[in-house]
Structure 1
Amino acid sequence: MAAYNKADLERRMAGAVEALKHDLQGLRTGRASINLLDPVTVEVYGSSMPITQVATVSAPEPRMLSVQVWDKTNVGPVDKAIRSAGLGLNPIVDGQTLRLPIPDLTEERRKELAKLAGKYAEAARIAARNVRRDGNDSLKTDEKKGVFSEDERKRHETEVQKLTDATIVEIDAAAAAKEKEILGK
């Protein structure tokens, strides 16, 4: 097990927040955004790839996305991946291009998206707690090796907890802002 490294824990917790912000960008708020398809992965060439590695995504109009698939054999898998992603989008296939009209958000769909934002936030909170656990485990290991005294370990555990608390506050703020944006309040 690696020795306690506060900078590494900070980096990993910041990564959890960045991943959440990236996921939240993909949630639709009624306008076309190329980030909307970021969470979509396509089963091609025997593996799962992000859609951006098999196609170019653009927003030619405020309420339309265009997905230009590079290899025509991947049009079907890309279409299937978008339909099954739970984004409420139904692609119109036009050769190697898929057009995705962005429908108006119904109240029910807004609630679903807000719930999805909550799931993303919970996943980020879990990631932050896992980083905390890893940090505390390495502190205990270091204490057993004689690197830290018990008092030093406890002081470092308090630092790790403060870092975790601050990260969770940041996660909650990002999720609340997105929920407000989605629900239009």
Structure 2
Amino acid sequence: MKGKITAQSISLFEKKGFTETSIQDIVDSLGVTKGTFYYYFSSKEELLMDIHLGYIDGLLYTQNHILNDTSKSFKEKLSANVYMLITNITTQGAAAKIFFREMNNLSPEHLKIIEQKRDQFRLNIEGLIRAGMENGELRADLNAPIITMGILGITNWSYQWFNPDGNCTDEEVAEIFVEMILKGIQDN
């Protein structure tokens, strides 16, 4: 039931927003009582935190597998990270929207936990960029923090516009992004 409450809440939060969705809305949509809700969550904010943790912990778990794969080159690891973020839209698009849009509704204590995990994700990408610079796969004069923010900006914003059923697959979008990142858009 906890999973059903979470899934239904993600759907309602995506449509109505966190503040406009009441616990009553959630339980009514599932045909359960508030007691059922409170059995699993002490508050709506705890539910929101659970959604945030599920999203960011899933990304960090997958990212760590990518980064620790010694058989992959820098480019392959970068491509895998970009692909993971774009593919995640297909599987976690609503949760991603809630993650980015509703973060300000977390308590300061919960927000700090999420920000630390989000920062770790960013620092992992930055470390990958630095490793590419050090091993000669990337120019040594790059600003790794800015490049990292650019990569995260283009991938994280994709949840607003990417349609998994559209003209390009998630893999094609990821390939376009990686090509753009690594080679730029200048005609040589």
Q: TM-score, normalised by structure 2?
A: 0.32
Question: Which structure has the bigger radius of gyration?
Answer: 1
Q: TM-score, normalised by structure 1?
A: 0.33
Higher helix share: 2
Higher strand share: 1
